[in-house]
Amino acid sequence: MCGIFGFSFKSGAVSEGRRALLAARLAYENDKRGGHSWGFATPAKKRVHIERGLGNMSGHAGLLVGHHVVMGHTRLATCGDKTIENAHPFEIGNLVGAHNGIVRNHEELCQKYNRQFTVDSPHLFAHLAEGRNFDDVETYGAIEWIDKATPARVWLSRLSGGSLSIYGIGRDKQTIGVVWSSDDRHLLDALAYAKLDAPHFPYCVPEGAVFFIDDGVCLVTERELKVKPYSSFIRVWDSDDSTVDWYLDRSGRRGREPTAEIVTPGGQREREERTDGLLLDKPSSDDGLIDCPWCHEPFVWRQLRSDL
């Protein structure tokens, strides 16, 4: 799980102080989805400026002050070391992009396309830069990217099983800005914190649809990004209600026949099974650990839900 977020405002439409509050809150909320590294991209004199670092982003939110367009990311490492080089966003060809999710067939794609990526997400932006669709990429989540040819324009897409919220500030067709985040609740909290909570409205974000945001306006394109379906899906809710999405079912839909092993502190393994969205056989302890089905690193199990 990682977090993506950002905003685009018309010049002069929102004060620097409110944009600073919005950026600080979005960074703080998305740190709950990351914590290992952070990064952002902004347009700067017909080019793209990139900053990246380790740890939480909220301590560096001051770097976002003064910008009308920001594309941010917070990383929770699932593939590759926790280094600045592996922090998002990545520069791939003419694109600068960030991803919330996992590419399951990372090594297969490295071999197929003779790539030397140490982390999985750059495959998505390499595919985009090369004009490929995602039909051979086993992934989920959401992506954001900038083409260096149009540095003030941000592209967004919610992939299969991903979460992405986009809100317009103002009235439909008369927006002064657009804000997005991986988590709807976090986004609304940030809007309220910056006193940008009214008027605002959500955009419908279908899976695979591609949006672009430019000068405070959000438009949907005719393009669709379809991924290769695979495996099964699990959503884990942590104690603060942030989510960790691990994998999708073979049909690409959520909540069908997922299973996971629960590891209790004493080392006892129990099996967690869900059928048609129901949760069965909870582990004996709320402090149990659940193994990631890919990297096999345990993390604290709080509550496993399938109601979304």
Domain(s) of CATH 3.60.20.10: residues in the chain = 3-224
CB–CB of 128/114 below 8 Å?
Answer: no
Burial 236-264 (b: 16+ CB within 10 A, else e): bbbeeebbbbbbbbeebebbbebebebbe
pLDDT per residue over 55-110, tens digit each?
999 999 889 989 999 999 999 988 888 999 999 999 999 999 999 988 989 999 99
- Mean of the pLDDT values across residues 162-184? 90
Vertex 49 angle, CA 43 and 51, to 5°: 130
**Which residue type sits at 298?**
P
pLDDT per residue over 205-228, tens digit each?
999 999 999 999 999 998 999 998
Specify the pLDDT at position 230. Answer: 62
| Rounded distance between C-alpha atoms, residue 126 and residue 46, angstroms | 22
pLDDT per residue over 111-131, tens digit each?
999 999 999 999 999 999 999
Specify the pLDDT at position 214. Answer: 95
The dihedrals phi and psi of 302, each to the nearest 5 degrees, come to -110, -60
| Rounded distance between C-alpha atoms, residue 124 and residue 98, angstroms | 9
| Rounded distance between C-alpha atoms, residue 282 and residue 290, angstroms | 12
- Mean of the pLDDT values across residues 129-135? 94
- Mean of the pLDDT values across residues 1-24? 92
Sheet holding 142-147, edge to edge: 90-92, 95-100, 142-147, 153-158, 209-214, 217-224
| Rounded distance between C-alpha atoms, residue 211 and residue 156, angstroms | 5
- Mean of the pLDDT values across residues 180-203? 90
Specify the pLDDT at position 237. Answer: 40
**pLDDT at 39 > cutoff 60:** yes
- Mean of the pLDDT values across residues 245-274? 35
**pLDDT at 272 > cutoff 50:** no
Residue 267 pLDDT class (50, 70, 90 cuts): very low
Q: Identify which of 90, 163, 105 has the alpha carbon closest to the alpha carbon of residue 136.
A: 105
pLDDT per residue over 225-255, tens digit each?
999 876 444 444 444 444 444 333 333 333 3
Peptide bond into 89 cis (omega under 30): yes
Specify the pLDDT at position 248. Answer: 31
Residue 301 pLDDT class (50, 70, 90 cuts): very low
Q: How high is the mean pLDDT of the chain?
A: 78
Specify the pLDDT at position 196. Answer: 82
| Token pair 């490492």: residue | 77
Options 3.60.20.10, 3.90.1300.10, 3.30.1490.20, 2.30.42.10; CATH for 3-224 is 3.60.20.10
